[in-house]
């Protein structure tokens, strides 16, 4: 495995599930962790649970302008990101297609597809 000590890792969707687990693993490996998600209260709990350097910020990856502003507005010591874990995602549209809710599909596509693009480009 690559030496991650001192590397800066950005993890989206870090407030639960895979993103939260990845934050713990990267922290254990000595990485500096940037964690973001929509639920700031969960990020604060995660920040307390992690060892080492952690910077938490609220972010909805569906909002392109917010993504661009958040990444551009990171403190100088956090701007050089070595690893991106583009993890934010959700599941909608599980009903039969003809019974589907277009709003749920929009939310899922905006998060899982467009959000990935926005964060990668920022």
How far apart (Å, rounded) are the C-alpha atoms in residues 109 and 93?
10
The verdict on residue 3 lying in a domain is no
pLDDT of residue 100: 86
Structural domain range at position 102:
8-121
CATH number at residue 73: 3.40.50.720
Q: What does the pLDDT look like over 73-93, one tens digit per residue?
A: 999 999 999 999 999 998 887
Binned average pLDDT, 10 residues per bin, the chain of 122 residues? 90 97 97 97 96 96 97 97 96 84 90 95 93
Model confidence, pTM: 0.92
pLDDT of residue 94: 79
Q: Is 105 in contact with 93 (CB distance < 8 Å)?
A: yes
pLDDT of residue 34: 98
């Amino acid at each position: 495995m690559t030496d991650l000590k001192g590397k800066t890792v950005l993890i989206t969707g870090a407030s639960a599930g895979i993103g939260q687990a990845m934050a713990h693993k990267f922290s254990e490996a000595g990485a500096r962790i940037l964690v973001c998600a929509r639920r700031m209260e969960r990020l604060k709990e995660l920040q307390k649970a992690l060892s080492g350097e952690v910077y938490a910020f609220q972010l909805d990856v569906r909002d392109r302008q917010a993504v661009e502003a958040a990444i551009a507005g990171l403190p100088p010591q956090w701007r050089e990101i070595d690893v991106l874990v583009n993890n934010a995602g959700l599941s909608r549209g599980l009903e039969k297609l003809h019974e589907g809710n277009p709003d749920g599909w929009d939310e899922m596509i905006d998060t899982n597809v467009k959000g990935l693009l926005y964060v990668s480009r920022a």
